[in-house]
Amino acid sequence: MKKLVILISGRGSNMEAIVQACLRERWPARVAAVIANRPDAAGLVFAASQGIPTAVIDHRQYPDRESFDAALAGEIDAFAPDLVVLAGFMRVLTAGFVDRYAGRMMNVHPSLLPSFPGLKTHQQALDAGVRVHGASVHFVTSQLDHGPIVLQSVVPVVTGDDAAALSARVLATEHQIYPRAVRWFVEGRLALDGLRVALTPPEPQWLFDDTCNKSNNVAGEGV
Ligand code: GAR
């Protein structure tokens, strides 16, 4: 039985999707803890309601990134996780912290990496005029929003989109790809080869979701 520790900063909808998939699909894993860097992170309420231990390491209580990351690592290691899952954890991590969890820490980022790292990714996509956008699940390296990509989702950008509409479309796919990627890890199906992530046995490491075109009856738009 593999152990997962999930880190959140706010809403925690990706964490919730992972917790629910783990139970529903009877993964050989359990969520050992959910840790937030903000006491008011809404996702803590859901985690507690599921009987999952929760903890808060408030970054505002630490003078610098090093001391915060050291305290966070201490809390994580108390649960001896096989995988650390960053689910909307909005902190830049020190190289020491990233190295400590090399090959066993994943993140979801709301863009098709390596495009649009950082914040406001949906507005970045709209401003760049791209016709497709999406999300990436990747292993974490010391380069922000970079690292071996496990799985990506792709959605169309359609006329009239604003950042909120695009964000909602992408988030719905995050809730599909992040649980899938974590499941692959706990099943021992992932192998790292430089920046590539091999999946055994192979299956698509992407998800195309154009249901917005169908539901809006604008089939073909953006094609
Ligand atoms: C998600 O869209 C996630 O991709 C993003 O924050 C949101 C968290 O939502 N993460 C990043 O931007 C990391 N660079 P959630 O709290 O409901 O899962």
Active site residues: 109
> 153 CB contacts (<8 Å, ≥6 apart)?
134, 135, 170, 173, 174, 176, 177, 206, 207, 208, 209
- For residue 16 and ligand 1, the question of a CB distance below 6 A is answered with no
Q: Is the peptide bond before 28 cis (omega within 30 degrees of 0)?
A: no
Q: How far apart are CA 48 and CA 51, in angstroms?
A: 5
Q: Is residue 16 within 8 Å of residue 46, measured between CB atoms? A: yes
pLDDT digit string (tens) for the chain, length 223 residues: 999 999 999 999 999 999 999 999 999 999 999 999 999 999 999 999 999 999 999 999 999 999 999 999 999 999 999 999 999 999 999 999 999 999 999 999 999 999 999 999 999 999 999 999 999 999 999 998 999 999 999 999 999 999 999 999 999 999 999 999 999 999 999 999 999 999 999 999 999 999 988 765 444 444 3
Q: How far apart are CA 91 and CA 138, in angstroms?
A: 16
- For residue 117 and ligand 1, the question of a CB distance below 6 A is answered with no
Q: 16 C-alpha vs ligand 1 centroid, how far in Å?
A: 12
Predicted local distance difference test score (pLDDT) of residue 216: 57
Q: List the domains of the chain with CATH numbers.
A: 2-216 (3.40.50.170)
Which tokens belong to 69?
A: 């990351």
Nearest to 179, CA basis, from 207, 154, 155: 207
